[in-house]
Structure 1
Amino acid sequence: MKTSLNIFFLLVSFFGFSQEKFEVSSVEAFQKELNLEFADSIKSPLTGEDRLQFKALDFFPIEERFFVTAKFVRTKKEKPFEMKTSTERKPLYVKYGELSFSIDGKAYKLNVYRNIALSQKKEHKDHLFLPFSDLTSGNESYIGGKYIDLKIPKGNTMIIDFNKSYNPYCAYNHKYSCPIVPLENDLNIEIKAGVKKFHD
């Protein structure tokens, strides 16, 4: 069983971690790299049949309102826990902090996590994992929610660009094992941003 952990490291290292202001070109570059990866016979998570028919992923229109600056609060003394996945695999994560932000004048909060095993690797020691679901999940978006890769901030704010949210590999192929979005990260809003669902 293959795992679906932080599947676009190279991608987000260029387009997802250092951005401080909204740029359409940055999101377009993200989408282009994602499509290239899915079309690649070696890197693609798609089944062989789906890859042969693949042309491009379906994205929501790029919107600046889904590019938000969140207040970051580091949560201390959190104990590692077994994250539920789509299989029996239960990797260890720890809640690293809380992100508070607003969209259209309404306040929201998400927990951000750190993968214990991954954080022990030098190249990913600053990586944070932000899974979320919203009111589009199961409709226009994948029912299992989406992910965003982030980096440990130096200050008390963090950029969340939902335009760069992506589906877990399980959205494309059942052979993968993917973290399930914790209930506390279910947003009561339609986040029409990022990748749409793959199959109806």
Structure 2
Amino acid sequence: MTDPADLTSDTDPEAYRETLEAKRAEKDQFFADHPQSPIPPEERSNFEGLEYFPPDPDYRVDATVSLVDDPEADPVAMETSAGREMRYLRVATLAFDLTRADPDLEDGRYELAAYSQDGGLETLFVPFRDKTTGQQSYRGGRYMELAVDGGLEDGDDLLVDFNLAYSPFCAFSETFDCPLPPEENWLEVAIPAGEKAPE
């Protein structure tokens, strides 16, 4: 099955929705049955599926990449849900426009920092908060993981799909310790896409 993250920004919207819905059903099955599910075993029989915002292709945006020259020079200590700190390296800034998704925005330009723990660019970790955080979506923020194929250079475009934003495992059980989005990734706009807060 095609992963929604592999589709381009001009993919047919209906085909995209079908692919996304199928992946969501697959994730629900994992959460309900798999031994590594974050749902506590005693609660799995009552699990009826994750809550999501409706699929919205307008929240799939092309972001312009600005690479950080020396990620090791300014490591980021992210607080965690258990009160610890985890060290990450800021490797890039992703600049994007949300005007298509929300035409009422006065200025639809936003930025998110992308991180990794080792400075690599193969997978970018993008934790964020937005105006849905603590209301429709999990109070600790949400995550995106962006796979990069074939290297990444300054000025490249990278597809950022907020429909794939997900709640960390600590949203489902306090046995997990999860990094919380640093303040530089607190967006002053609602992102009604991706996973909602667990019921």
TM-score clears 0.5? yes
Give the aligned partner of residue 7 of structure 2. 19
Measured in 1, the distance between the counterparts of 2:116 and 2:168 equals 17
Measured in 2, the distance between the counterparts of 1:17 and 1:62 equals 13
Measured in 2, the distance between the counterparts of 1:26 and 1:160 equals 16
Give the aligned partner of residue 138 of structure 1. 134
How far residue 189 of structure 1 moved from its aligned partner, in angstroms, is: 1.1
8 A Cα contact 1:92 1:116, kept in partner: no
How far residue 16 of structure 1 moved from its aligned partner, in angstroms, is: 5.1
How far residue 29 of structure 1 moved from its aligned partner, in angstroms, is: 2.8
Q: Provide the aligned length of Structure 1 versus Structure 2.
A: 181
8 A Cα contact 1:126 1:151, kept in partner: yes
Deviations 1:55-80 (A, max 9, x none): 21111111111111111111111223
Query: What RMSD, in angstroms, separates the aligned Cα atoms of the two structures?
Result: 2.1
Measured in 2, the distance between the counterparts of 1:108 and 1:163 equals 17
Measured in 1, the distance between the counterparts of 2:165 and 2:135 equals 16
Give the aligned partner of residue 164 of structure 1. 164
What is the TM-score with the length of structure 1 in the denominator? 0.82
Q: Alignment partner for residue 114 of structure 1, among 110, 113, 116?
A: 116
8 A Cα contact 2:5 2:161, kept in partner: no
Give the aligned partner of residue 91 of structure 1. 86
Measured in 2, the distance between the counterparts of 1:28 and 1:115 equals 31
Between 1:159-168 and 1:88-97, the stretch displaced more is 88-97
How far residue 88 of structure 1 moved from its aligned partner, in angstroms, is: 4.5
Larger radius of gyration: 2
Deviations 1:82-140 (A, max 9, x none): 322112543331001000001126111000001229x5xxxxx7111010110000001
Give the aligned partner of residue 64 of structure 1. 57
Q: In structure 2, give the amino acid aligned to 1:72.
A: V
Give the aligned partner of residue 76 of structure 2. 81
Aligned in 2, Cα 1:41/1:198: closer, same or farther, shift over 3 Å?
A: same
Measured in 1, the distance between the counterparts of 2:141 and 2:92 equals 20
How far residue 151 of structure 1 moved from its aligned partner, in angstroms, is: 2.0
Measured in 2, the distance between the counterparts of 1:194 and 1:162 equals 6
Measured in 2, the distance between the counterparts of 1:68 and 1:41 equals 32
Q: In structure 2, give the amino acid aligned to 1:66.
A: Y
Measured in 2, the distance between the counterparts of 1:74 and 1:154 equals 8
Give the aligned partner of residue 51 of structure 1. 44
Measured in 1, the distance between the counterparts of 2:83 and 2:197 equals 24
Q: Aligned with 1:101: secondary structure? A: strand
8 A Cα contact 1:15 1:29, kept in partner: no
**How many percent of aligned residue pairs carry the same amino acid?**
31
What is the TM-score with the length of structure 2 in the denominator? 0.83
Give the aligned partner of residue 8 of structure 1. none
Q: Aligned with 1:91: secondary structure? A: strand
Measured in 2, the distance between the counterparts of 1:16 and 1:90 equals 32
Measured in 1, the distance between the counterparts of 2:47 and 2:118 equals 34
